[in-house]
Amino acid sequence: MEQQTALRGVIAPVLTPFTPDLRPDAARLVKLCRWLIAKDTGLAVFGTTSEANSLSVAEKMTLLDAMIEAGLPPQRMMPGTGCSALTDTVELTRFVVRHGCGGVLMLPPFYYKGVTDDGLYASYSEVIERVGDARLRIYLYHIPQVSQVPLSPALIERLLAAYPGTIAGIKDSSGDWNSVRTLLEQFAPRGFAVYPGSETLLLAAMRGGGAGCISAQANVNPEANVRLYQTWQQPDADAQQAALIVLRTELLKFPMIPALKAVVAHGARDDAWATVRPPLVSLTAGQRAALVSALPAGYAPPAF
Q: Which residues are catalytic?
A: 48, 111, 141, 171
Within the chain, what is the greatest distance between any pair of CA atoms? 52
Minimum Å gap between C-beta 303 and a second copy is 29
- CA atoms of 34 and 26, how far apart (whole Å): 12
272 forms part of the interface with a second copy (CB under 8 A): no
Three-class SS of residue 268?
Answer: coil
Look at residues 129, 119, 124, 154 and name the one whose alpha carbon lies nearest to residue 139.
124
From the list 25-33, 39-47, 239-247, 273-281, the region that binds a second copy by CB under 8 A is 273-281
Query: Taking CB under 8 A as the criterion, which residues in 41-100 touch a second copy?
Result: 48, 53-59, 83-88, 91
Which of residues 64 and 268 has its CB atom nearest to a second copy in the complex? 64
Rounded to a whole number of angstroms, the minimum distance from the CB of residue 174 to a second copy is 14
Q: Least separation, in Å, of the C-beta of 264 and a second copy?
A: 19
Using CB under 8 A as the binding rule, whether residue 112 contacts a second copy is answered as yes
| Given 19, 145, 231, 234, the residue binding a second copy (CB under 8 A) | 145
Q: Does 148 bind a second copy (CB under 8 A)?
A: yes
User: Which of 19, 38, 75, 122 lies at the binding interface for a second copy (CB under 8 A)?
Assistant: 122
Q: Where are the alpha helices (DSSP H) in 39-101?
A: 57-69, 86-98
Answer yes or no whether residue 146 interacts with a second copy by CB under 8 A.
Answer: yes
Classify strands 104-106 and 167-172 as parallel, antiparallel or unpaired: unpaired
* 123 contacts a second copy (rule: CB under 8 A): yes
Site size toward a second copy (CB under 8 A) is: 40
Question: If we measure between CA atoms, which residue out of 204, 179, 212 comes closest to residue 3?
Answer: 212
Pick between residue 41 and residue 123 the one whose CB is nearest to a second copy. Answer: 123
First to last CA, the chain: 38
Assess 3 for contact with a second copy (CB under 8 A).
Answer: no
Q: What is the DSSP letter of 209?
A: T
Which of 69, 75, 119, 154 is the binder for a second copy (CB under 8 A)? Answer: 119
3 state SS of 75: helix
The verdict on whether omega for the bond into residue 73 sits within 30 degrees of 0, i.e. cis, is no
Tell which one of 1, 20, 116, 286 touches a second copy (CB under 8 A): 116
Number of continuous H segments (helices) and E segments (strands) in the chain: 12, 7
Under rule CB under 8 A, residue 126 binds a second copy: yes
Rounded to an integer, what distance in angstroms lies between the CA atom of residue 41 and that of residue 200?
Answer: 17
In 110-252, which ranges are continuous DSSP H helix?
117-131, 144-147, 153-162, 177-187, 202-207, 222-230, 237-251
19 binds a second copy (CB under 8 A): no
Q: How far is the CB of 250 from a second copy (least distance, A)?
A: 19
Rule CB under 8 A: is residue 110 a binding residue for a second copy? yes
From the list 110-118, 179-187, 222-230, 264-272, the region that binds a second copy by CB under 8 A is 110-118
How do beta strands 42-43 and 212-214 pair?
Answer: unpaired
DSSP 6: T
Q: Report the alpha-carbon distance of residue 236 to residue 44 in Å, rounded.
A: 28
Which residues of this protein are in contact with a second copy, per CB under 8 A? Answer: 22, 48, 53-59, 83-88, 91, 108-113, 115-116, 118-120, 122-123, 126, 145-149, 277-281
